[in-house]
Structure 1
């Protein structure tokens, strides 16, 4: 009986945000500091290093980017829109103020907005004004390399297993009490496992690639 060829794996459409990727072992470094190279974003699957050219955001750039994205989408037929793909990538990476803080500390992000929360909403607000096709994007290979790197990273898989453990066994006070009572002989490791310092506030679904 001939072997059936497995269907091709769907393209990775979305990736976790920057702080979650940090948990997975990804290192963020500044690529080019020249604004004209803003689309130069690369990921080395061997070292886990993502290079991002400097991101400069302020109130004046939002309407400009929205207009440029709209213009780009009227021109392209089959080819992927580079600016639209870039904004989609930033929407994935920058979700919370912690993501902004992380990228700023690595010299990647420069913001003239009021605070980090406002900076975190910068790209998502741009995305609200334009249609983004996540199946056709210039950074598809980067997304796939990130997925393969994180899924093969032992520490990341352990963290994901711990999040599942917390959700399934520590989802309510009664589950926690029952578990503590059943494992009283090993209470010290359990206290470490449930410590807020050991498990940061990241939902398990945020660690998934889509």
Structure 2
């Protein structure tokens, strides 16, 4: 089992400084970023002069859109429509960076998602037998923006040449957080399979990725 070459890295551009958004504008920017695959996002007219996304249904005032446009975080490429597109500045403002670092003191490997210099999520992995044990994947804020998937994908890409095991137990259930069944389904989509034993209930294992 080896993991040579694990060095700190980041996979997104530096965040712009000096841009402060109100909570509604920040929420709108994250919603646009989540659904914009490059062609922009169409919003619908809503009562009270507001605009909403047809999928989420969450309404926003037009002034909130104007705030994002004035800061250069979004653009409106089609006149007289509510087509909104993320700009590079907007993507950089959200710009979570993914860092990977090894902690030699305890043999742990930490994967972190940072936004504007603040950690919003992490994954902790440690050596375990002939492979690795994934202690947890945690996203504190900005949930449902794919950060957990980015973390797990990074773990698999870096360490998937060996077996990765985990306990699919969320511990104390909290409102808005996934249940054990939801976690099992999520890990299953990434190649983990149930492998219960007496010592570790709800254990799941991902076999090593075959060499190319």
Tell me the TM-score range normalised by the shorter chain.
under 0.3
TM-score of the superposed pair, with normalisation by structure 1: 0.23
Greater strand share, 1 or 2? Answer: 2
TM-score of the superposed pair, with normalisation by structure 2: 0.23
